[in-house]
Chain A
Amino acid sequence: MNRKVYLDHNASTPVHPEVVEAMLPYWSERFGNPSSVHGFGREAREGLETAREQVAHFLRAGKEEIVFTSGGTESDNMAIKGVAMGRGRGHLITSKIEHHAVLRAMQNLETLGFEATYLDVDGDGLVDPDAVRRAIRPDTILISIMHANSEIGTIQPAREIGAIAHEHGIPFHVDAVQTFGKAPIDLDAFHIDMLSFSGHKIYGPKGVAGLYIRRGTKMVSVQHGGEHERRRRAGTENVTGIVGLGRAVEIRGRDMAEEAVRVTALRDRLWEGIRSQVPDVRLNGHPTRRLPGTCNICFRQVESESIVLGLDLKGIGVSAGSACTSGNVEPSYVLVAMGVPVEWSMGAVRHSLGRSTTVEDIDYVIESTVPLVAKLRSVMPVRA
Chain B
Amino acid sequence: MQYSPTLIDHFRNPRNAGIMRNPDGVGEGEYKDCMDLVRFHLRVRDGMVMEARFQAYGCGPTIAAASAATEVATGCTLDALLEVEAARVEAAVGGLPELRRHAADVAVLGLRAAARDALSRAAETRSDRDA
- Chain A positions near chain B (C-beta within 8 angstroms): 301-303, 305-306, 309-310, 313, 324-329, 342, 346, 376, 378-381, 383
Q: Is the CB of A309 within 8 A of B33?
A: no
Do A309 and B60 touch (CB < 8 A)?
yes
How many angstroms from the CA of A196 to the CA of B18 in the assembled complex? 51
Residues 59-81 of chain B, each 1 if its beta carbon lies under 8 Å from chain A, else 0:
11011001000000000000000
B14 touches A379 (CB 8 A): yes
With A325-B99, A379-B18, A379-B63 already in contact, the answer to whether A301 and B57 are too (CB < 8 A) is yes
The smallest beta-carbon distance between B61 and chain A, in angstroms, is: 8
Residues of B within 8 A of A324 (CB): 34, 58-59, 100
Q: How far is the CB of B71 from chain A (nearest CB, A)?
A: 15
Is B59 in contact with A306, judged by CB distance below 8 angstroms? yes
Give the docked Cα–Cα distance between A309 and B11 (Å).
9
CA distance A93 to B127 in the complex (A): 69
Chain B: how many interface residues by the 8 Å CB criterion? 33
* B102 interface residue (CB < 8 Å to A): yes
Given contacts A327-B102, A327-B105, contact A380 B56 (CB under 8 A): yes
**Smallest CB separation, A375 vs chain B (Å):** 8
Contact B33 A328 (CB under 8 A): yes
Main secondary structure of the interface of B (DSSP, over half): mixed
Which residues from A are CB-within-8-Å of B28?
381
Contacts of A313 in B (CB 8 A): 8, 11-12
Whether A327 pairs with B56 at a CB distance below 8 angstroms is: no
* Interface contact B102-A326, CB-CB below 8 Å: yes
Further pairs besides A326-B98, A328-B33, A379-B54: 13, Cβ < 8 Å: A303-B62, A306-B60, A306-B62, A309-B59, A313-B12, A327-B31, A329-B34, A342-B35, A376-B63, A379-B18, A380-B56, A381-B55, A381-B57
* Alpha-carbon separation in the docked complex, A302 to B57 (Å): 7
Complex: chain B residue closest to A301, CB-CB: B57
Q: Residue on B with the closest CB to A309?
A: B60
Which residues of B (23-73) have their CB < 8 Å from a CB of A?
28, 31, 33-39, 54-60, 62-63, 66
Chain B residues whose C-beta falls within 8 Å of the C-beta of A327 in the assembled complex = 31, 33-34, 36, 101-102, 105-106
